[in-house]
Structure 1
Amino acid sequence: MGSNLHAISLFGTLGMALLVIAIRMKASKRPINAMKILMPPIGMSTGFLMFVAPLTRIPVTWGLIAFAVGAVVFAYPLIRTSGFSKQGDHVYLHRSKAFLIILVVLLAIRLFLHSYVEEYVTVYQTASVFFILAFGMLLPWRVAMYVQYRKLMNS
């Protein structure tokens, strides 16, 4: 059962990463708005319902550390490579050449850490830690994007 969960987790992570890369690359072709920037963290926040299940619960300190690592280590390169341009009344997301490389490197680091952490805690707790890490990465990145978007719209 444990190896099946590990395989499902691995393929799920890879699948979601590829989906994010594909969506992100397509996003630069269409105008962006505040809703498109803010909805991903709002939608992802529903994942915190996983903590209703006792198997997924972790100590608060683990959650705070995971969030901090996501916010400080993983969000920074995404924030630095996300830019906007205004064309008429529309705002477009810049497609940074480094963005794809950064996403692949972050994915590799995440997969390595996932395997390492899973040696010490259950698969369910590992999923919890990495969900919080991902949320910690997404939230500051999207807030920074929103601030940049608002500045551009008000200029």
Structure 2
Amino acid sequence: MIYISSAVALIMAITVLIVRLKATKKPVSLKKIVLPPIFMSTGALMFLFPMFRLTGLEVLEAVLVGMLFSIFLIKTSNFEVRNNEIYMKRSKAFAYILIGLLIVRLVAKWLLSTSIDVGQLGGMFFLLAYAMIVPWRISMYLQYRKIHNEHFGNGKVAKV
């Protein structure tokens, strides 16, 4: 089971990397910033099932590690104005950071799978990912609004 979930994580990481690199070629919108965490939040339904439920300490650990990891994503996500629209700046470090986070995640999963039940581990890694994505997307939102207001003024409505 651990090998299957690791393979799925690898495929997802490669997909995210490709999607993020392609995203630099298209203008950013508020919708593209805000919707991914909303869609991902449906994964929290896993906690309805007892095998995925976590202790308070496990929740705290997963959230703190996720927020720590989000710092790397925040530092490598910047915007620029091109052709009168806002785009993500391509960062060479972003790909390396995603790969590094994947490696850390896989190693942690292999180490923790001997002492934590696979369901609880899945719940912890979901929380870790969500706690990583939400601060990153909030930072992106704030950056986007700042750049939009600087270049297009407060009166003009941002493209959604």
Q: TM-score range by the shorter chain?
A: over 0.9
Map Cα deviations across residues 31-61 of structure 1 (whole Å, 9 max, x no partner): 0101101111111111000011111111122
Aligned CA RMSD, in angstroms, stands at: 0.9
Query: What TM-score results when the alignment is normalised by the length of structure 2?
Result: 0.91
Structure 1 residue 104 corresponds to structure 2 residue 99: yes
Q: What CA distance in whole angstroms lies between the structure 2 residues aligned with 1:119 and 1:152?
A: 47
Structure 1 residue 82 corresponds to structure 2 residue 77: yes
Q: What CA distance in whole angstroms lies between the structure 2 residues aligned with 1:48 and 1:10?
A: 20
Q: How far did 1:117 drift?
A: 1.2
Q: What CA distance in whole angstroms lies between the structure 1 residues aligned with 2:39 and 2:108?
A: 25
Structure 1 residue 44 corresponds to structure 2 residue 40: yes
Q: What CA distance in whole angstroms lies between the structure 1 residues aligned with 2:131 and 2:148?
A: 26
Q: What CA distance in whole angstroms lies between the structure 1 residues aligned with 2:41 and 2:60?
A: 15
Aligned match of 2:109 in 111, 114, 118?
114
Structure 1 residue 142 corresponds to structure 2 residue 140: no
The amino acid that maps onto 1:143 is I
- Residue 129 of structure 1 corresponds to 124
Provide structure 2 residue ranges, at least 5 long, that are not aligned to the other structure. 151-160
Aligned match of 2:88 in 74, 86, 93?
93
After the TM superposition, list the runs of 4 or more consecutive aligned residues in structure 1 that deviate by more than 6 angstroms. none
Q: What CA distance in whole angstroms lies between the structure 1 residues aligned with 2:114 and 2:96?
A: 28
Map Cα deviations across residues 123-149 of structure 1 (whole Å, 9 max, x no partner): 111111111001111110110011000
Provide structure 1 residue ranges, at least 5 long, that are not aligned to the other structure. none
Q: How far did 1:122 drift?
A: 1.1
Q: How far did 1:86 drift?
A: 1.1
- Residue 17 of structure 1 corresponds to 13
The amino acid that maps onto 2:62 is A
More helix by share: 1
The amino acid that maps onto 1:10 is S
